[in-house]
Amino acid sequence: MSRLSIQKLRKSWGDPPAADDIDFTVESGEFVALLGPSGCGKSTTLRMIAGLEAPDSGHIYLNDKEITHLSPGKRDLAMVFQSYALFPHLSVRENILFGLQVRKVSKEEQKRRLNFVIELVDLGSHLHKKPGQLSGGQCQRVALARAVISEARLCLMDEPLSNLDAKLRAEMRSELRALQQRLGMTVLYVTHDQTEAMSMADRIILLNRGRIEQIGRPEELYNQPATTFAAQFIGAPPMNLIRIENRVLGVRPEHIQLVQPGMGLKSSHRAVVKGCDYLGADTLIQLQLDEHSLQLRITGHQKLQPGSSLEISWAEQDQHSFCRTSGQRVAADALQEQHIEYTKKETHYAA
């Protein structure tokens, strides 16, 4: 059915380029998230795919047909905008049917599709209202309905949930995912929120400074971050990075365990408590390990006095290692050596 393929896409307004060397594919029926901090080029990439921005170089293919230079309306794709982009002078019904009317789809077909999507997004009672009379969540549904009704091959979404409040956002997240699964939609979803990307996407494309950092399934990004950037961007709070000589060692706060003092585990380290943040289900503890700052996440309400010391350790498989200069992940066989290196150093301190 629909397969999007991006090759060597580049767009620059100056130095550094807004997007450079962007290369990826989205398979039919797949939900792919373009994730990254603001200014990383994710929206630029999306707008180039939509045809709203012309790339400097590179190619965009949809179903093996090159669409790089087609006008937005001829690309056979739909788009949901962050601001919903509903036309304020049109009713909900007219907004949803806007594209079909522009494309002169027959009246019967319009009616058939409208009935289908209205039921899908549960908007039946609001058809004659203007967007100004709707809540944020309802506006979101109208925008979604407008994208679904076009039956386009590809649906682009530009941070569609970021204007909703936290509770509604969580609801819409699962609703959107369910809708995508039910209709088998191919979705490319731009977000800066890693929770959204992790919970909804089949695959995540992580962008940083206009370049792709890593492409992979959510668990791959979490378990095997390709770079220090990926390691710090995925997961909350971010992964602890400890710089030792020419390597960077990474451990997630949730993978650090407390060890009973005096157990004499050879891989345990003594750290000093700097502060605690109680989050409800668990507590975040700031630690000082030698000259490194660490965060540790443990369940329950833990009251620890600043200045007290803790014995911590982590499993070897939870430890990540990166090159200090390039930030690239170092292969697994080097991991063992890395761990020993840290232990040695600590022994050195103790001596």
Partner 1 sequence: MMVLAINTSAVNNQLSLAEKICAWILGFLWLMPLLFAFWAAFHPAEYTTHFDLLAPLTLEHFYSAWEQAPFARYMLNTLIITTIILGCQLVLCTLAGYVLARIPFRGQGLVMALVMMQLMVMPEVLIVENYRTLADLNMIDTWVGVGLPYMASAFGIFLLRQTFAIVPQALDDAARVEGCSRLQVLWKVYVPQAKPVYLAYALVSISYHWNNFLWPLVVTNTEASRPLTVGMAIFGAPESGVDWPMICAGTLIAVSPLLAAFLIFQKQFVQSFMRAGIK
Choose one: 21-29, 66-74, 199-207, 340-348; the region binding partner 1 (CB under 8 A): 66-74
Residue 83 binding partner 1, by CB under 8 A: yes
Choose one: 44-52, 220-228, 317-325, 326-334; the region binding partner 1 (CB under 8 A): 44-52
Pick the binder of partner 1 from 24, 61, 98, 116 (CB under 8 A). Answer: 98
Residue 190 binding partner 1, by CB under 8 A: no
- The DSSP bridge partners found for residue 292 are 289
Specify the residue, 45 or 208, whose C-beta has the smaller distance to partner 1.
45
Residue 258 binding partner 1, by CB under 8 A: no
Specify the residue, 102 or 166, whose C-beta has the smaller distance to partner 1.
102
Pick the binder of partner 1 from 23, 57, 65, 73 (CB under 8 A). Answer: 73
Pick the binder of partner 1 from 5, 12, 82, 91 (CB under 8 A). Answer: 82
Residue 79 binding partner 1, by CB under 8 A: yes
Pick the binder of partner 1 from 70, 85, 215, 244 (CB under 8 A). Answer: 85
**How many residues lie near partner 1 (CB under 8 A)?**
25
Residue 52 binding partner 1, by CB under 8 A: yes
Specify the residue, 100 or 205, whose C-beta has the smaller distance to partner 1.
100
In the complex, what is the shortest distance from the CB of residue 211 to partner 1, in angstroms, rounded to a whole number?
A: 25
- The DSSP bridge partners found for residue 158 are 190
In the complex, what is the shortest distance from the CB of residue 170 to partner 1, in angstroms, rounded to a whole number?
A: 24
Residue 81 binding partner 1, by CB under 8 A: yes
Specify the residue, 82 or 162, whose C-beta has the smaller distance to partner 1.
82
Residues that bind partner 1 (CB under 8 A): 47, 50-52, 71-74, 77-79, 81-83, 85, 87-90, 98-99, 102-103, 146, 150
